[in-house]
Structure 1
Amino acid sequence: MSKKLRTVLIMAIVSISVLLLMLNQPSKTEKLRMQYAELIAKSPYSKTKILKKAELKKIPKQDRPDLAFQQDFLQTLDPNTGRPEPLRLLKILNADKNKGQVFKTNSTLNWESRGPLQVGGRTRALMFDPNDVTAKKVWAGGASGGIWVNNDITDSLSVWQQSNESMANFSISTITSDPVNTQNFYVGTGEGYFNIDAVYGAGIWKSADGGATWNNLASTIDFEFIYDMVVRNEAGVGVVYAIVRDLQDNVNGTEVLRSINGGATFTLASHEPFRDLELGPDNTLWAGDAIGGVWKSTDGTTWTKVYQAGAGSAAGGHTIATPRRVELAVAPSNANNVFVLIADDSALGEIIVTLDGGATWIDAGEPSDAGDSTVPNTDFTRGQAWYDLIAAVHPTRDLELFVGGVNAFKLNAGLEFKKISTWHNQVDATVSFAHADHHAFAFRPGHNDEAIMGTDGGVFYIPNVATVETVTNGIKMRNRGYVVTQFYSAAIDPVNTNGFLAGAQDNGTLYFSGPGIDDTTEFRGGDGGFCFIDQTFKDATDGLYYIVATTGNEYRLHDFSTTPGTFFIPLIDTGNGAFINPADYDDENNSLYSYESNTTSNTTITKIILAADGANQGTQSAGTATREDIVMAEFGAAISHIRVSPYNVANRTVFLGTGNSQVAKMAADKTITMITPPTLVGSVSCIEVGASDDELLVTASNYGVVSVFYTNDGGATWTEKEGDLPDMPVRWALFNPLNRNEVLLATEVGVWKTLNISASTPAWEKANTGMGNVRVDMLQYRALDNTIVAATHGRGLFTSTNFTLDVKENVLVKNTNIKIFPTVSNGLITVASRVNAQNAKFTAYDLSGKQVFSKSLNLVNGGEQPINLNVKRGIYLISIKTDTFSSSYKIIIK
């Protein structure tokens, strides 16, 4: 072989090898998908235990704020950065204000708030308005519901009003005012108590007009977590101090930043890991850190540590193995008296007090919650000192301390704690009720014995703190119109036009029955998960069932068909599943599907089959439902979404999405077919079924990924439908059932809409008029009256009835040889014909596109045929097809 030929062969072999190597390399999408799967698999949050029923009984309520944050972290993290990126939302929030309408807003879809009227939600920030001469006006910050104001907190009928809806999807952590210019308010965002799984914020927002308008301070745009803020009068200048999560994300690190120009710029005041900041009556700054230390400063830049908790500290001899968060309370009437609460890991470690400005310390004892068997006597925070820990000293009685954990207590001058509130009167009926988990406490200026508290259940007012421990009605709820409830899910009642069911973080599963913003009924307490209402109900013989979920894979059935009132039938009672567990209900087959578990070898979902409609569903201790575990080996990942097809009732298809970028469909015989979009990366948040099982929308809830995919061939091919949608989590999708080119998305910034999903690059626009920029978790539709319900995570429920879902006459194809009358009836209609047509097909569809009635007709020229449509009231489409023509009509059943 010649040398030249050998060289050519070697080059050819090398070229082929390189080509094969390149062909075998994973694509960019495959690399990102593998990177994301590895992030999920390695995350400790993927392995967090869901407590079983016996364990949950040991705590006051099935409330796991840590699990809520952890689950959302995994579902929204950007696979490229390994963390959520909520600061990208500011582009959306500021676009219209600063640059004109960058993101178009659709004004035809208006939303109406449905409350709940008096449930409230987690509140970390409270402030009496310094400009109100009556000292009745209060400002409050919801955990993800924005800023609210109440003009008279002393009046039980005074209604809260939202101040700035553009902040609705950010957590309000602190609020304060400028003592030099009281028109200047500052609000800090982001709950920084949970490391990387916290509720993210977007810096500091300022109002220069007493709360009328708010603006995000540009210098703080990357402040994701703000623990606390104070404004101090320094020689006639209101100097702002803010404790900000360390911008390098150190575990315990924070920066205390200082601004002398109203927040235009900030400089470093301290790099100690502070968590709480208080201002004494002598203008001394006090700080508590994240590792058991107490600090003070007179100039704001030089800080001195005056106490450090540890093993057998000098104050009370307490052994604190792992000193953590420190909460402070300075006596407004005595600058020398400072109380300190120190956490030992997650529990309360000690409460100490100094009477000489920090020179010496003494043990102040601890509250003993002997009246509540669910709270340890030695830890009134019940292991949640990282979460619910607050303290305040009476304005004039300098040794009267008020502390809040699960419940609230008062320390009198004799250093004796008295309980003042209980999370449930059935647990302790000796004191007044206030929702569990306390985060804020403020006294009414000029009225020293009046105070307000911020809890996980909203705002409470104490008319007289002097005697509050001696009465059982000494604390008043003040949540009227304070709609900051965080819902995960919603279901629509097929009978009651004002009926909705919704599962909320820390506020149970609530049933809505009245018009507008109204009171609700709690079906079940704790954390509310997915919920369902059987949509096949027509009368009392059919079965009206409400299914509600709490944390994990635990469900309760409420049967209203044969038994008056409410009773429970336990369907599943395990600690498996996710925190807010994906599930779906097959109304026609009375079957509930829910995620059960995932191991290294298989993934399991559970199917619960209820008795037939109208049949006896059993009792609380002995239900008649049967259970089937469906074990699949195809995933190796947690299920993130389940959707039951509305078609083919005898052979249902169930669609499944996973937390690591997979989509599948399960046939009636349990056969699994993978139909994953080729470029999908992220957690599948929704699989919306269109006109048939072949038409699907798939959404992902992560930052930094393509969020919307469409197929009309059952998943054989997919197209990306991101278009000009901003980079934000998408949590749900909804087709317009009468015009499936129209699609709504539930996103981190309200509802978005496109009029043409079939376009290669759909144009998306805001459709959140009346709702604001709040996170929306779920959308549901009722064909009866064209109602859409939106479950928001921070602003309660919203409904819309003016979405363009009415049947347009130009989409109906009418043949003059066929007539249907009357078009409005109780279900008895007549088909009149001017032609002969054998084997004509009469079909009725509801406005969701679902077939509800079918009948064969033999049409005779000049003849009439009566038909009794035994369906629920509402609008229906009628189709009549023959061998030679088809005709369609709109009728109303009243």
Structure 2
Amino acid sequence: MKKYILLSVIAVTTIITVLFVINSTTEDLSEIALKRQQHKEFLDNSPFKDTRNLSKEKRKKLSLPPNAYNEREWELTMNPTLGIPTPFLVESTTPSLYTTLGAPGNNTTPWQERGPLNTGGRTRVVFFDPTDVGANNGDGVDYNRVFAGGVGGGLWINNDITSATSTWTIIPGIAGDLSVNAYALDPNDSSTFYIGTGEQYAQGAAIGNGVYKTTDGGSTWSQVNIQPAGSGTVSGGGSLFKSGLFTVNDIAIRDVNGTSEIYVGVGSTFYAAPNGNIANPSNILGAQNAGLYRSVDDGATWTRIENPALSFSFSGLTFYVSPNDFEIGADNTLFMGSIASPGIGQGGGRIYSSTDGTNWTLDQFIASTDRVELATSPTNANLIYAAVDAAAGADLYISTDKLTTITALNEPNDADNSISATDFTRGQAFYDLVIETDPTNDQIIYAGGIDLHRSANGGNNWNQISKWSENPNLNGLNVPFIHADVHALTFRPGLNNEAIIGSDGGVSYANSLSGALSSPNAIANRNNGYNVTQFYYGDIADTDVADGDDFAGGTQDNGSQLTNDAPANGLTPFFDPIGGDGAYTNIDKDGNYVVLSVTGQTHLYADYPIPPGSTINSLFGTGSLYAISQGSGGDFINVAELDENLDVFFANGATFNGANGILVCALGPNAASCNTITNALISSSRPTAMKVSPFTITSTKLFLGTIDSRLIMVDNANTASPVWTEITGSQFLGSVSDIEFGATEQEILITMHNYGVDSVWYSTDGGTTWASKEGNLPDIPVKAILKNPLLAEEVIIGTEEGIYVTGDFNSVSPTWTQTNNGMTSVKVVDLDLRVSDNTILASTHGRGMFTGQFNTLGFEESQISQNNIKLFPTINNGTINLVSGTALDNAQVTIYNLSGQEVYNEMMNLSSQQQSISLTQPASGIYIVNIKSGSYDQSLKMIIE
């Protein structure tokens, strides 16, 4: 049962929906058929249909975030009835913690964080702890403790940023998936500081819920009660304007005679394309509530400043300018740079000032610009620098008369051959744009876009002090490496040549900003334990388990992350051999190769294991990396699947000209042979989920879930004569996100991406009939599903809010509860199961990877954890290996087929030394391996080909 709030939204959108249905068809269709038709028309008229497949370069020219993943997520998660995603309609719940022993994430068996240990993610907030000084510094060193905020990974602390071996710890009491976007420190109380949530720059991908405050130096936090000013939810101009505080662009605190005046810049965001395509209503979040909010009583009460100079009109409604950046001048004047309201396109390119915080003057309006970043002189009240997102790229300005006039400033010329000499942000000033002045010398300026640049003479000349790659011309530059897309730079108090830097790659520490001109060691990454990586896919290897765990996964802007032989618990370093945005990954069951992907239809496979430190060039150079397919078709993060028995790779083969099909590639020793299969069942659709049946092993039986509610079974999918059969449930509605199996091929589980639908479905007869397993699940997108092979009633799902589990899956209405202990309520995009020991890999979009283990209700948890028995290979010809983390003497090992017939029984001494078992002429099928030793009892599953 889906629960909704905000009846005003429903009223508006219901009217739209009714009119849509009346005008779209006169056929006598069933209710579900009408809903599917309506969903398909919403998809066909998606505001992103013209932009989602653009290259990164073309996206930048349109001021679109470089990553199209969020646009596809908009389409996949849309409520099929309303035509938009509806996260704001989800009723807030506090589910009880799951307490049975079968699934991880409860009080006794938490999820284990696995990494990456050394890879960060998009970071817009970095600051030094203001309490870390004098008697409070703890280690005798002032200001080496720092905070950092991940755009999708919460708030973190590092106790010694100067140390290369220092590690990060997530701050409890704040949601682990919170989008941290701004901060401010109280000048009258070093223990009080604020963080703002929600990112305006990424089109609704990282919405927040206002401002949080600490009064004890960051140990505990509480949400600040800022009531949105302006109207509630309204409609106008073909758009739905949802009320709320969804993005906070900046916070400033000004000391006025001992009183802390707090200023919060509330922005807005939207779910629509910037090209004006509003065939269906755009969903604009918080535009009517945006503006400048002020408090003079420590945040107890707030007022939106509604001066006429700060207002504008759109579609007959009054809106207020969204602050983007606050700066305080040497004479305590408050300056504000603005940013345009998304979906409206007004309010940007403005610079304001105020001496009392309530009366504001528009000092400068820079035509044809949007986002404005400011930097003020610490000593000269008349000197202000500005960096702006202009039509032709980033521009820099200087004012020496307190904004009476402004003059264009010379820009940095990045050494990267692919970056224009007149735009150091490479078309991304709307996304990555930084300008800062040295705290004591206003002639030293820093400007950041793709890379970081420094001027020592007020912007007349610039020197590059970082590089993001070894691209041509960059490879000869002797400067430090910082990940591309610089978002923040904060100076160390009292040591102005030192700083911390936030980028799409996490956090970096500069021990000498001036030294970075010629020393690659002057700035270094500090991502140890800063696990805010955004995965799209994840895989755990079935082989080589005796030496530790092997993981692989595709990530946002951090490539294909891999690690070999990771210890059983704790964070592990990963490495990326490919770069860019990673996508589908899969380690072959025999451990001979790994499939790696980047965006679109570019898929590769490499000999496995890949040596750490390898690069795409070194792998191609040694003849150990092979192309499967290349091209820009498919989706940005393209759905794919691997038949590990037959070494056949499948992927979405859709092309830009509208042709839909499935790419089929036989993977040879050093080359792939590909063709495309298609059928009328997918001629007007696209696959959004794929699964190869592990039970059909002499040919490929491929299951396809589509964006428009279909489920299709393709027999002989690896041949030139595939047989297509639709097994769609009669009540399916939405875009299929995952397909999994239970104990047999007859037992199928699927999930849906969408809001506003039944998200979990189950069949026990191979897809002939289906039952909804929605139960009490909140109305949230569901991304992945797994069935506990040891407990028939237990199923876990990966959702927008972490892991949910049910222990009564076979009931008509299962009871779902969160099981996130050790993980937090972060978006889980993929679940993978290593069947040899029932280890689960949960890959998240914002908090890296986690593992847990399915068990049974009768197990003693401590023994399970200590023994950690592993069976491999899980798919075999009758010969298997067993290892145990703890010695088990006289262990009874019994093997049964699925009929319950015993096929093997022997007493064995199990230890970390590998023990082998060979069955004599076993039949193909699934087998259960049971191990007993004293009170210890565990069952593992394997498949014999």
TM interval, short-chain normalised: 0.7 to 0.9
Match of 1:506 among 536, 540, 557: 557
Answer yes or no: is 1:580 the counterpart of 2:637.
Answer: yes
Report the counterpart of residue 115 of structure 1 in structure 2. 115
Q: What is the Cα deviation at residue 876 of structure 1?
A: 5.1
2:260 corresponds, among 234, 238, 243, to 238
Q: Distance in 2 between matches of 1:563 and 1:420?
A: 30
The CA deviation at 1:470 is 2.9
Question: Counterparts of 2:396 and 2:825 in 1: how far apart (Å)?
Answer: 41
**Structure 1: 5+ residue stretches without partners:** 1-21, 98-103, 311-321, 538-543, 612-616, 832-839, 850-873, 881-894
Which of 385, 388, 402 is the matching residue for 1:339? 385
Partner of 1:525: 579
- Tell me, yes or no, if structure 1 residue 764 matches structure 2 residue 819: no
Residue equivalent to 1:781: 833
| Distance in structure 2 (CA, Å) of the matches to 1:767 and 1:443 | 40
**Does the 8 Å contact 2:507/2:526 carry over to 1?**
yes
Whole-Å Cα distance in 2 between the matches of residues 550 and 817 of structure 1? 46
1:163 and 2:212 matched? no
Within 5 Å, give how 1:544-555 maps onto structure 2: 544-555=592-603
* Partner SS state of residue 430, structure 1: coil
After superposition, the C-alpha distances for 1:682-726 in whole angstroms (9 at most, x for unaligned) are 221111122223211111122222211111122222111111112
Q: In 2, distance between residues paired with 1:631 and 1:289?
A: 50
1:324 equivalent to 2:382? Answer no
Structure 2 residue 331 is matched with structure 1 residue 282: yes
CA change 1:281–1:90 in 2 (3 A) is farther
Residues 266, 322 of structure 2: 8 Å contact kept: no
Alignment of 1:579-598 (within 5 A): 579-597=636-654
Aligned to 2:483: 435
Whether the 8 Å CA contact 1:166–1:772 is kept in 2: the answer is: no
Change in Cα spacing, 1:472 to 1:725, as seen in structure 2 (3 Å) is same
Q: Which residue of 2 aligns with 1:750?
A: 802
Q: Point out the more displaced range, 763-772 or 227-236.
A: 227-236
What amino acid sits opposite 1:419 in the alignment?
Q
Q: 1:730-769: CA deviations, max 9, x gaps?
A: 1100111233321111111211111221111111122221
Q: Does 1:215 align with 2:222?
A: yes
Amino acid of the structure 1 residue aligned with 2:164: S
The 1:702–1:218 alpha-carbon spacing in structure 2 relative to 1, beyond 3 Å, is: farther
The aligned counterpart of 2:303 is 267
Instruction: Supply the distance in 2 between the matched residues of 1:45 and 1:805 (Cα, whole angstroms).
Output: 47
Call closer, same or farther: CA 1:804–1:777 in 2, change over 3 Å: farther
Count of residue correspondences: 785
The 1:85–1:299 alpha-carbon spacing in structure 2 relative to 1, beyond 3 Å, is farther
Instruction: Output the CA distance in 1 between the equivalents of 2:703 and 2:855.
Output: 27
* Matched residue SS, 1:342: strand
Aligned partners of 1:441 and 1:454 also within 8 Å: yes
Alignment of 1:346-365 (within 5 A): 347-348=393-394, 350-365=395-410
Q: 1:201: Cα distance to partner?
A: 1.5
| CA spacing shift, 1:689–1:301, aligned 2, 3 Å | same
- 2:654 aligned counterpart, secondary structure: strand
Partner-residue secondary structure (3-state), 1:510: strand
**C-alpha separation between the residues in 2 aligned to 1:294 and 1:244?**
16
* Equivalent residue, structure 1, for 2:362: 305
Q: Conserved in 2, the CA contact under 8 Å of 1:353 and 1:364?
A: yes
- Partners of 1:90 and 1:202 within 8 A in 2: no
Question: Residue 106 of structure 1 contacts residue 765 of structure 1 at CA under 8 Å; is this kept in 2?
Answer: no
In 2, Cα distance between the equivalents of 1:470 and 1:818?
Answer: 69
Counterparts of residues 101-250 of structure 1 (less than 5 Å): 106-133=106-133, 134-164=142-172, 166-195=174-203, 197-219=204-226, 222-246=244-268, 249=285
Larger radius of gyration: 1
SS at match of 2:48: helix
CA distance 1:453–1:373, change in 2 (3 Å) = same
**What is the SS of the residue equivalent to 2:49?**
helix
- With over 3 angstroms needed to count, the CA separation of the structure-2 counterparts of 1:218 and 1:73, relative to structure 1, is farther
The aligned counterpart of 1:42 is 45
Q: 183-192 vs 218-227, which deviates more?
A: 218-227
1:700 aligns with 2:767: no
The structural deviation recorded for 1:163 is 0.2
Q: Distance in 2 between matches of 1:469 and 1:815?
A: 71
Which segment is superposed worse, 160-169 or 502-511?
A: 160-169
Letter of the 1:403 counterpart? A
TM-score using structure 1 length = 0.82
AA paired with 1:228?
D
Q: Deviation at 1:555?
A: 1.0
Q: CA offset at residue 346 of structure 1? A: 6.8
Q: CA RMSD in A?
A: 3.4
Residue matched to 1:76: 77
Deviations 1:636-693 (A, max 9, x none): 1222111111111123221111222222222224232222233332221111122223
Distance, in Å, in 2 between the alignment partners of 1:23 and 1:352 is: 59
Report the CA distance between 1:124 and its aligned residue. 0.5
Is this contact kept in 1: 2:747–2:762, CA < 8 A?
Answer: yes
1:730 aligns with 2:782: yes
In structure 2, distance between residues paired with 1:561 and 1:365: 49
| Per-residue deviation, 1:107 | 2.7
Q: SS of 1:422's equivalent?
A: coil
CA distance in 2, matches of 1:471, 1:732: 46
**Match of residue 638, structure 1, among 655, 678, 686:** 686
Deviates more, 1:225-234 or 1:30-39: 30-39
Distance 1:224 1:453, change over 3 A: same
Identity %: 34
Do 2:294 and 2:305's aligned partners in 1 also have CA atoms closer than 8 Å?
A: yes
For normalisation by structure 2, the TM-score amounts to 0.77
- 1:201-232 per-position Cα deviation (integer Å, ceiling 9, x unaligned): 22222223221122233446831122111122
- Structure 2 match to 1:451: 499
Alpha-carbon distance in 2 for matches of 1:561, 1:732: 27
1:349-397 deviation digits (Å, cap 9, x = unpaired) = x21111221122222211111x211211111101111101111110011
| CA-CA distance at 1:25 after TM superposition | 5.0
Match among 384, 408, 411 for residue 455 of structure 2: 411
Amino acid at match of 2:39: Y
State the one-letter code of the partner of 2:350. G
The CA distance in 2 between the partners of 1:144 and 1:700, in whole Å, is 22
Change (3 A) 1:72 1:563: closer
- How many angstroms does 1:846 deviate by? 5.5
d(CA) in 1 for partners of 2:77, 2:59: 31
For 2:344, the equivalent position in structure 1 comes to none
* CA-to-aligned-CA distance 1:61-87 (integer Å, 9 cap, x gap): xx9644122122222233344433334
Which amino acid in structure 2 is aligned with residue 560 of structure 1?
Answer: Y
CA contact (8 A) 1:555 1:573 kept: yes
Paired residue for 1:659?
707
In structure 1, the residue corresponding to 2:92 is in which secondary structure?
Answer: helix
Question: 2:588 — aligned with what?
Answer: 534
Task: Report the Cα distance in structure 2 between the residues aligned to 1:510 and 1:819, rounded to whole angstroms.
Answer: 40
Deviation for aligned residue 1:234: 4.0
Confirm or deny: 8 A CA contact 1:77 1:83 kept in the other structure.
yes
SS at match of 1:44: coil
CA contact (8 A) 2:536 2:583 kept: yes
SS at match of 1:774: coil
SS of corresponding position for 2:70: helix
